[in-house]
Structure 1
Amino acid sequence: MRLRAASFSLVLAGALAGCASADTGRPDATSSPPPPSEQSQIYSAALHQLILVDNPFATAPTQVGAVYIVDGPASRSAEMSTVVDGPAFDTDLKNEIAAQSADLPPVEFTADPQQYADPARQGLTGVTDDGVIVGLSPTRRQDDGTVHLGAGLWCGLDCGLGLTYVLDRVDGQWTVTGTTGPVAIS
């Protein structure tokens, strides 16, 4: 009888151990999602600065209604040229930027930003939904650990901004700490 009870105990223990280690395919409630990539954090910090602080209409009575980001690096963004000259951003990067931009007007990536532009209209009304078209350049790491990122915003015939942000890690977060080079304002 003891042998039978011992055998049963071993089988039961093995079954319980197997159940405990089985992957159910469900996310573990105690695990958190991975942090966003460094690249998305840099782009998001620059985007927030561009839309909420430096945008010529950031404090206008009519706030920005939509943000249309050109889908891919636009190396001349600092010169207000929001023309993509690199491959499209990958889906994970776009999802991370969008997730970190929940406090901004709706963000949409577009392969054809001209579909939202109406150059005949002026001011903030030059883009669909009182929006802005944004171009972001590839990031350029500097020897001092900072990152330079060209950013351009177009919101109509007489509404635009282009500059190069300097970003640095401050308290573990990528933060715009200044600009470098010329600034273009329309």
Structure 2
Amino acid sequence: MKSIFYILFFAFISLFSVKAQDKSSCKVALVQPHLVWGDVKANLSAFDKRVQQCKGCDLIVFPELFTSGCEMKKKDKAEAIRTKDEIASHYPAIIRKMQKWAAQSKALIIGSTIYKEERKYYNCLLTIFPNGDYQYYDKHNCFKKGGFSPGNKQLVFSWKGHRFATYICYDLRFPEWSRNSDQYDTA
């Protein structure tokens, strides 16, 4: 059962290609509590409990759209927009909560959520450092009927002697988008 969990988990989390810049290790926690569809507060509470169990980790990874339970349920268009608006309204609070977790755990926290700008919705991957700084990238290869706008930049960063290139699920399937342009996985 555990192997099925991890296969399913990897189908939805942000995927990383890693290049070790030195011989230090990087302890990674993959966190997946039970999600409540569309309930940001309940999901943040569930992740709060799980992050507390990740003592000694360098990197804590949440699944794609961890704050909303992926929100892939079939809905009419008006209801889908209301749900996305509700989730996107929590964006500043989600960043603050992730900053708190990163500071407390001294780990890098990564997960994606819904972000809205100029009436467009994005599946935004947030990378939060323990000092409160953060970087992001918006999923580029979105499903045509998924209601998200594509992002146009990649996110490659260094952490604890390693370089990471971040991809949200479907982006990894497109070599023209995910090709190694920043030399993150070469010797």
| Larger-gyration structure (1/2) | 1
TM-score (normalizing by structure 2)? 0.28
Q: Structure 1 length as normaliser, TM-score?
A: 0.28
